[in-house]
Chain A
């Protein structure tokens, strides 16, 4: 730089006593001249420097930190911590695309139930509890989480990560599925009848994943549930697997799976891999 702005010129710039043309000229020079920037800084009162630094810091936060997916934003509004929000936002099944796909699948299933036929109800009963199951499976594990190796090398508890994600997925997909079930006529109490099986399935998968890949566990549960509903539909009707008398069975299964899961996690066995 062959020339520098004089102290007097910088002083007038700081005090806002330059016309627009000179102001633009000084600013263009300051962008390219570290020496003049340093002299400018020396003339700016500390309280102004602090204010600018604060504004810049705030601006960087807005620019750097990407917007969270809609489901995670919803959970933030009801008290999810900022660091848990970061963990959930990285899960595939919390993405906006996954949520849209969930809505689509559930809507089609609920519309099938709307027909009032056994096949339609069976379709809804098969799909609804498997939505949270699929979400949980997609939230962790070597086959679905591309960062498994990296995650395992960090001090964050693998079990805690899985449980945070499973809870996040369940707390967004289940209300969604219930809402769609209620919103469409024809499903009636069916919109709630699958909740106990879904809870049992999620816990069974988390527990099984302390031994095997969650994708395999999810696949077995999905095929098994589909077979049960299909068989019941053929023999006695689709509502038998979710009849009131059967509901305690799912709750019992959920409690048992939860206990085994707690024991496995205490023994350093994390769902989806080593803890």
Chain B
């Protein structure tokens, strides 16, 4: 196992952000879904060693992520982290920012470091913006700069907190291509609100809500759990968990009872995710093909 999270609890001034969370991560891309305030960012900060848990333990590639300084340093040497929010220091250019993080990642030889900075900037399609001031870049470009620093040194564990925020469809597709390539040799945890990114990239998805794991299993198992609970109908009926008028003029109804004019529809990951968040029933997170109990 690349990452083992064992009964981790994190509280902020007595308020729990994560409660007794356990999971393991292996090589490949794992999606992490959850509503705002679910505890995703806290979990990612714990994995990145930027936070310490109130109780429980995190082991990354055999090292205790919150143990001695040597153990934490060993984890950090194998880690790439893209935080949800980064406010950049004034006056920095794209190149100088990534170069700065490369120094913090102990890449001390100037020539090697600069070559590595150019490699990751090329990987995220920002070679032409190397000399631009960060404040002159668009939101999507700045997001890619932060992704570039996470890729420095080809880390074995990549923790990405909402990497696609602000990216246009072409940039998102490009990012998927980069991540799927890296996923063959590294462990990637991708926290996002974009269910389509998870559906496109991940074999496995973990859903957390209110600080607890609600689902942990194959993406297809979560999608299957919504089968028979999604319909297309001509009129909007009460009782759905969520429904909306689609571009064709028909209503997509997720959850609730089958409407009289309802035509069963193939569920998407988003349907299943919405259903799961609205369900008070616990999800079985122990079976290999975790499904709604």
Contact = CB atoms under 8 A, between A and B. Distances in A.
Interface of A: 60-61, 63-66, 82-83, 86-87, 89-90, 92, 95, 97, 145-147, 149-157, 161, 268, 274-275
Contacts of B101: 150, 154
B114 A65 contact: yes
Given A149-B50, A153-B48, A154-B76, A64 B95 contact: yes
Chain B interface extent, by class: 35 or more
Nearest to B47: A153
Contact of A83 (B87, B92, B103): B103
Contact of A66 (B73, B96, B104): B96
For the complex of A and B, list the 3 residue pairs with the smallest distance between their C-beta atoms, beginning with the closest.
A154-B104, A146-B87, A155-B76
Interface string B92-114: 11011001110111101010011
Nearest to B78: A155
B90 A156 contact: no
B249 interface: no
Given A66-B95, A146-B88, A152 B50 contact: yes
Contacts of B117: 64
B114 A153 contact: no
**Residue from B90, B100, B149 having most chain A Cβ neighbours under 10 A:** B100
Contacts of B68: 268
A43 B92 CA distance: 42
Contacts of A90: 89, 92, 96, 100
20 contacts: A63-B130, A65-B96, A65-B99, A66-B93, A66-B95, A86-B96, A86-B100, A90-B96, A97-B90, A146-B89, A147-B88, A149-B81, A150-B86, A152-B48, A153-B49, A154-B101, A154-B104, A156-B104, A157-B73, A275-B72
Contacts of B40: none
A261 to B, nearest CB: 16
A153 B50 contact: yes
A95 B103 contact: no
B105 A156 contact: yes
Contacts of B77: 155
Contacts of A154: 76, 101, 104-106
A97 B89 CA distance: 13
Of residues B69, B87, B93, B100, which shows the largest number of chain A Cβ atoms within 10 Å of its Cβ? B69
B100 A87 contact: yes
Contacts of B100: 86-87, 89-90, 147
Interface string B10-51: 000000000000000000000000000000000001001110
Q: Give the interface centre of A95, A147, A157 by most chain B CB atoms within 10 Å.
A: A147
A82 B111 CA distance: 11
B131 A64 contact: yes
A61 B241 CA distance: 58
B141 interface: no
Given A64-B118, A146-B89, A152-B49, 9 more contacts: A83-B108, A90-B92, A95-B90, A146-B88, A149-B48, A150-B83, A152-B50, A153-B48, A154-B76
B91 interface: yes
Residue in A90, A154, A156, A274 with the greatest tally of chain B CB atoms within 10 Å = A154
Interface string B60-87: 0000000011001100110101010011
Contacts of A92: 89-90
Nearest to A267: B69
A97 B90 CA distance: 10
Contacts of B73: 155, 157
Nearest to A82: B110
Given A64-B114, A65-B96, A89-B96, A155 B81 contact: no
Given A65-B114, A156-B105, A86 B90 contact: no
Given A86-B103, A95-B91, A153 B81 contact: yes
A174 to B, nearest CB: 23
A153 B95 contact: no
B243 interface: no
B52 interface: yes
